[in-house]
C-alpha cells in the first residue's frame, strides 16, 4: 500500500514572529496581496506595512467575511490587477482559506498568518468553501500546502479566550478521526492512507490537549505567552493540521458540516461545532466509557460545548436534527471513513445520546 503525507513548506512560531514577516515573504516573491480579517486590520495594518521594507510591495485588502466563491473571485481579480506573486492570509481560518484559494487561482505562492489558534486550517492544502450565507458548500482540495505558516503567539495570546478554546475543540477530533481512518485504511486528504508519522502526530495532538489545555487557557485569560500556551498553539495549528490532513477525517467533521445546515449554529465557531461532532462520534462508534468520560471532562474543564443547547440547538426538533444527520452522511462526506456502517438515523441517535450525556453531567455539577 502506498501511503502519503503532506506538509507546509515552512512553519514559524513564537512571540514576536510577525517581526520576521517581511524577511519570510521576501523568500517567496516581490508583490504581495494581503487578505486581512477586519477585526485585526486596525491593530496589525502598521506591522503588515512594515513588511514592505526591503522592496516588497504589499496591497492590503479587508476580507469580506466568508470563504465563498464570490469572495475568492473578488480578491482574485484584485490580485491579478496588482500582479501579485504572493498571497498572504492574515486572521482567522476563513480568511486563510480564502487566501489559499486565491493563490491557487493565480498560481501564486501562499503565506498564511493566523492571528488566532482557533482551527487547524493554516497548514493544510485545503479550503473549506461556504455559501455567502455561511452554510458549508464543499471542500476545495489544493495541489500544494502553504509555502509559509507564521504564528505570532503574542498576537494569539491577546485574542479572546473563546478562540483558543474553539481551536482545542477542532484539534480534539484529530486523533479519533485519524484512528478510525487507520483502522479502516481510509484515505486522508490525498486520497491515500497516511503513514505512521501522521497517526503519531495525531495522538501527540490529543495528549498535548489533555496535559496543557487548562494551563494554556489560563495564560490566554491573562494575555501572556507561556510554554503551555506555545504547546497548545502548536497542537491546534501544526499537530492538528498535519494529523487531520495526513491522517484523515471521519465522523466528527462530517457531523460539523451537517450542523452548519441549521441556521441557529452559524454564530458558533467551527471548533465549537466540531466538539459536538466529536462527542457524537464517540457515541456513534461505541468508544469505551472511560474514553467518553475523559473527553467530556476535558471539554468541561476548558469550556467547550457538551450539549446541543451550547451551540444554539436547545429547542431543535428531531426532524431538523435528522436533516443535519442526512447532510453528514451525504455521498463523499468523510463520515464514510468510519469502519462501521453509518446511516442518518444512527447519526441522529448519536447526537441525541451525546446531548443527553452532556445534560446529565451538567445537572450533577
Catalytic residues: 170, 253, 256, 270
Query: Among 149, 244, 246, 145, which Cα is nearest to 194's?
Result: 246
The C-alpha atoms of residue 268 and residue 274 are separated, in whole angstroms, by 10
Would you tell me how many other CB atoms lie within 10 Å of the CB of residue 38?
A: 12
Residue with cell 436534527: 321
Which class for 364: exposed (0-12), middle (13-18), buried (19 or more C-beta within 10 A)? exposed
Instruction: Please report which helix (H) or strand (E) contains residue 141, including its range.
Output: strand 136-141
Alpha-carbon distances, residue 72 vs 45, 49, 108, 126 (angstroms): 21, 23, 14, 14
Question: Side-chain half-sphere of 216: how many Cα atoms within 13 Å?
Answer: 31
Which whole-number Å values give the CA distances from 112 to 116, 184, 318, in the listed order?
Answer: 12, 33, 40
Rounded to an integer, what is the distance from CA 247 to the centroid of its chain?
A: 15
Say how far residue 16 (Cα) sits from the centre of its chain. 23
Say which residues have a Cβ less than 8 Å from residue 200's Cβ, sequence separation at least 6. Answer: none
**How far apart are alpha carbons 275 and 177 in whole angstroms?**
12
Which conformational region is residue 132 in: left (phi greater than 0), alpha (psi within -120 to 50 degrees), or beta? alpha
Report how far residue 314's alpha carbon sits from residue 359's, in angstroms, rounded to the nearest whole number.
11
Q: What whole-number distance in Å separates Cα of residue 179 and Cα of residue 356?
A: 25
Helix H or strand E encompassing 96: helix 93-106
Amino acid at each position: 500500500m502506498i501511503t502519503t503525507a503532506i506538509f507546509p513548506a515552512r512553519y514559524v512560531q513564537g512571540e514576536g514572529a510577525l517581526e520576521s514577516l517581511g524577511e519570510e515573504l521576501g523568500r517567496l516573491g516581490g508583490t504581495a496581496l494581503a487578505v486581512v480579517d477586519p477585526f485585526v486590520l486596525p491593530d496589525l495594518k502598521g506591522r503588515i506595512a512594515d513588511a514592505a521594507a526591503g522592496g516588497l510591495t504589499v496591497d492590503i485588502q479587508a476580507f469580506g467575511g466568508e470563504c465563498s466563491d464570490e469572495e475568492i473571485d473578488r480578491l482574485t481579480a484584485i490580485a491579478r490587477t496588482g500582479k501579485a506573486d504572493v498571497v498572504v492570509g492574515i486572521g482567522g481560518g476563513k480568511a486563510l482559506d480564502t487566501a489559499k484559494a486565491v493563490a491557487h487561482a493565480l498560481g501564486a505562492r501562499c503565506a498564511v498568518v493566523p492571528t488566532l489558534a482557533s482551527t487547524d486550517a493554516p497548514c493544510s492544502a485545503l479550503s473549506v468553501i461556504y455559501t455567502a450565507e455561511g452554510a458549508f458548500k464543499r471542500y476545495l482540495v489544493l495541489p500544494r500546502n502553504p509555502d509559509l505558516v507564521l504564528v505570532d503567539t503574542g498576537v494569539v495570546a491577546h485574542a479572546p479566550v473563546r478562540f483558543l478554546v474553539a481551536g482545542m475543540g477542532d484539534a480534539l477530533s484529530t486523533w479519533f478521526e485519524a484512528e478510525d481512518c487507520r483502522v479502516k485504511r481510509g484515505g486522508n486528504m490525498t486520497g491515500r492512507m497516511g503513514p505512521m508519522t501522521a497517526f503519531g502526530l495525531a495522538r501527540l495532538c490529543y495528549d498535548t490537549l489533555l496535559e496543557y489545555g487548562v494551563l494554556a487557557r489560563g495564560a490566554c485569560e491573562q494575555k501572556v505567552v507561556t510554554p503551555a500556551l506555545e504547546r497548545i498553539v502548536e497542537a491546534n495549528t501544526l499537530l492538528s493540521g498535519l494529523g487531520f490532513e495526513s491522517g484523515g477525517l471521519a465522523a466528527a467533521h462530517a457531523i460539523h458540516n451537517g450542523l452548519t445546515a441549521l441556521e441557529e449554529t452559524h454564530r458558533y465557531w467551527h471548533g465549537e461545532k466540531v466538539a459536538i461532532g466529536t462527542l457524537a462520534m464517540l457515541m456513534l462508534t461505541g468508544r469505551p466509557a472511560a474514553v467518553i468520560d475523559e473527553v467530556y471532562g476535558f471539554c468541561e474543564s476548558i469550556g467547550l460545548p457538551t450539549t446541543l443547547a451550547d451551540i444554539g440547538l436547545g429547542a431543535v426538533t428531531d426532524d431538523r436534527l435528522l436533516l443535519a444527520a442526512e447532510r453528514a452522511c451525504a455521498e463523499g462526506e468523510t463520515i464514510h471513513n468510519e469502519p462501521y456502517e453509518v446511516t442518518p438515523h444512527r447519526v441522529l441517535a448519536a447526537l441525541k445520546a451525546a446531548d443527553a450525556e452532556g445534560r446529565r453531567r451538567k445537572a450533577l455539577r
